[in-house]
């Protein structure tokens, strides 16, 4: 990866964890622990004071600070933490993440109104894996589906439009037809229209990182996606602005890589975020929290060392992503007749993850081997 040119950085601290243990979570599901405010302030100060060798001015000109990178607003003092974010950030971020705590929306009257007023929330994404027990199984938490419905109602009451993201897996496909009736019974289209917008529902596929490595066997095949209701497929095309909402088969992509020289550019976020755990381990914000992605620890390493680890691709995850030849990955891990559906960038991530789990010396210490 080339040296950082943008001097804007996002820092996302895991202050409280998450109520769920979702089987699709790309971050993974570490234990819930707390990071105290003083430690967060000190970490932010370290990043503010960082300077590149030979430079007098600070390396990062602008910082954005979040007090979560798993469940938003899960900490009991979330309101004061929001004020802390505003204090420590150089300018408030627009509410482009469009996520709130579904857990809290279902439990705390007034949270949705607070989120509209203090976070500027106008749209909130609600993730679903199916209906009832199927959804709860993916979340590893009984009652999670009912929480999603309660949260949807709370959002509408506060004038916030819910957007439903339904994950497409072998377990959810038989239940997709139920969503048309569910949307109609809850009058979601009419309710969203009354607050000045349309109701959006679309399908997505779990990315093959983190916990989702263990559910790759549930990834839909070309035969499976033929059962997707047409109205839901069209809605997904509209949302994702694509004519191929489910991607291509692995076999087709493998052949294009090996025969036609197809290049698949790794995902790069528009703004660099770093995730900081309660132990002060630092990871790229778009990566799973496994040992091969760890950039350093703020108790033991300087911010300059963390930044250089990122710029120089000196951790195995970055090295594998940016330096392993794609044809070699396809030759070793690609299934030439594979029928599972992938977006190209997701398939590349899968191959990188397989290489790391096969070659990294700490692989056996990392929970979650890839399912086949």
- Per-residue pLDDT of 122-170, as tens digits, reads 999 999 999 999 999 999 999 999 999 999 999 999 999 999 999 999 9
Identify which of 234, 242, 247 has the alpha carbon closest to the alpha carbon of residue 205: 247
* Residue 275 forms part of a structural domain: no
Task: Provide φ and ψ at 152, rounded to 5°.
Answer: -60, -45
- pLDDT over 70, % of the chain: 95
Binned at pLDDT 50, 70 and 90, residue 369 comes out as very low
Per-residue confidence band for 367, with pLDDT thresholds at 50, 70 and 90: very low
Distance between CA 64 and CA 6 in Å, rounded?
13
Q: 129 lies in which domain range?
A: 94-204
pLDDT of residue 97: 75
Instruction: Give the tokens for residue 258.
Output: 């090996």
**Which residue from 93, 159, 96, 94 is spatially nearest to 125, judged by alpha carbons?**
96
Q: Which helix (H) or strand (E) holds 276?
A: strand 273-276
What pLDDT, on a 0 to 100 scale, did the predictor assign at position 360?
79
273 in any annotated domain: no
103 within a domain of the structure (yes/no): yes
Tell me, what's the pLDDT at 261? 87
Total tally of structural domains belonging to the chain: 1
What's residue 162's pLDDT?
98
**Residue 295 domain flag:** no
Predicted local distance difference test score (pLDDT) of residue 364: 44
Q: Are 324 and 355 in contact (CB under 8 A)?
A: yes
> Is residue 279 domain-resident?
no
Residue 145, domain member (yes or no)? yes
Confidence (pLDDT) at 4: 75
- Judged against a pLDDT cut of 60, whether residue 363 lies above it is answered with no
CB 352 within 8 A of CB 329: yes
Tokens of 295: 């950039």
Chain segment 31-80, per-residue pLDDT in tens: 999 999 999 999 999 999 999 999 889 999 999 999 999 999 999 999 99
163-211 tens-digit pLDDT: 999 999 999 999 999 999 999 999 999 999 999 999 999 999 999 999 9
To 10 degrees, what angle do helices 144-157 and 111-118 make?
Answer: 60
pLDDT score for 271: 86
What DSSP string runs through 209-261? SGGGGGGGGGS-BTTGGGGS-HHHHHHHHHHHT-S-TT-EEHHHHHHHHHHH-
Q: Rg of the chain's alpha carbons, rounded to an integer? A: 21
- What pairs with residue 284 in β-bridges? 274
**pLDDT, tens digit, 9 for 90 and up, residues 91-130:** 777 656 799 999 999 999 999 999 999 999 999 999 999 9
Burial (CB count within 10 angstroms: exposed 0-12, middle 13-18, buried 19+), residue 237: middle
- Token pair, residue 259, equals 């025969």
Mean of pLDDT over the chain? 93
In a domain, 200, yes or no: yes
Q: Is 369 exposed, middle or buried (0-12, 13-18, 19+ CB in 10 A)?
A: middle
Q: What is the pLDDT of residues 247-257, one digit of tens each?
A: 999 999 999 99
Q: How far apart are CA 26 and CA 10, in angstroms?
A: 18
> Measured between alpha carbons, how far is 179 from 246 in angstroms, rounded to an integer?
19
Rounded to an integer, the average pLDDT of 327-338 is: 97
The model scores a pTM over 0.85? yes
pLDDT at 362 over 70: no
pLDDT bucket at 262, cuts 50 / 70 / 90: confident
Answer yes or no: is 113 within a domain.
Answer: yes
Give residue 214's Cα distance to chain centre. Answer: 16
Confidence (pLDDT) at 288:
92
pLDDT of residue 371: 52
pLDDT of the residue at 95: 58
């Amino acid at each position: 990866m080339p040296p950082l040119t943008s001097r804007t950085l996002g820092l996302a601290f895991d202050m409280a964890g998450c109520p769920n243990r979702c089987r699709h979570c790309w971050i993974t599901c570490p234990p819930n622990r707390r990071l105290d405010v003083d430690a967060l302030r000190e970490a932010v100060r370290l990043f503010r004071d960082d300077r590149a060798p030979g430079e007098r001015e600070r390396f990062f000109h602008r910082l954005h600070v979040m007090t979560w990178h798993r469940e938003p607003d899960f900490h009991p003092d979330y309101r004061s933490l929001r004020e802390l974010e505003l204090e420590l950030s150089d300018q408030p971020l627009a509410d482009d993440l469009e996520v709130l705590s579904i857990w809290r929306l279902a439990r705390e009257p007034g949270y949705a109104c607070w989120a509209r007023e203090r976070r500027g929330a106008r749209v909130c994404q609600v993730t679903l894996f199916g209906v009832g027990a199927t959804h709860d199984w993916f979340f590893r938490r009984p009652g999670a589906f009912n929480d999603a419905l309660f949260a949807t109602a709370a959002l509408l009451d506060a004038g916030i439009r819910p957007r439903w993201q339904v994950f497409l897996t072998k377990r959810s496909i038989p239940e997709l037809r139920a969503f048309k009736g569910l949307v109609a019974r809850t009058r979601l289209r009419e309710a969203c229209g009354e607050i000045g917008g349309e109701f959006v529902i679309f399908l997505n596929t779990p990315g093959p990182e983190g916990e989702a490595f263990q559910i790759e066997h549930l990834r839909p095949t070309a035969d499976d996606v033929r059962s997707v209701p047409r109205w839901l497929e069209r809605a997904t095309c509209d949302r994702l602005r694509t004519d191929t909402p489910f991607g291509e088969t692995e076999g087709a992509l493998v052949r294009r890589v090996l025969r036609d020289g197809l290049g698949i550019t790794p995902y790069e976020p528009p703004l660099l975020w770093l995730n900081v755990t309660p132990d002060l381990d630092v990871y790229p914000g778009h990566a799973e929290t496994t040992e091969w992605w760890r950039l350093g620890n703020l108790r033991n390493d300087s911010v300059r060392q963390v930044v250089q680890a990122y710029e120089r691709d000196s951790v195995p995850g970055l090295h594998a992503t940016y330096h392993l030849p794609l044809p070699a990955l396809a030759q070793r891990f690609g299934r030439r007749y594979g029928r599972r559906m992938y977006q190209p960038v997701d398939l590349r991530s899968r191959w990188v993850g397989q290489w790391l789990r096969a070659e990294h010396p700490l692989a056996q210490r990392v929970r979650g081997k890839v399912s086949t």
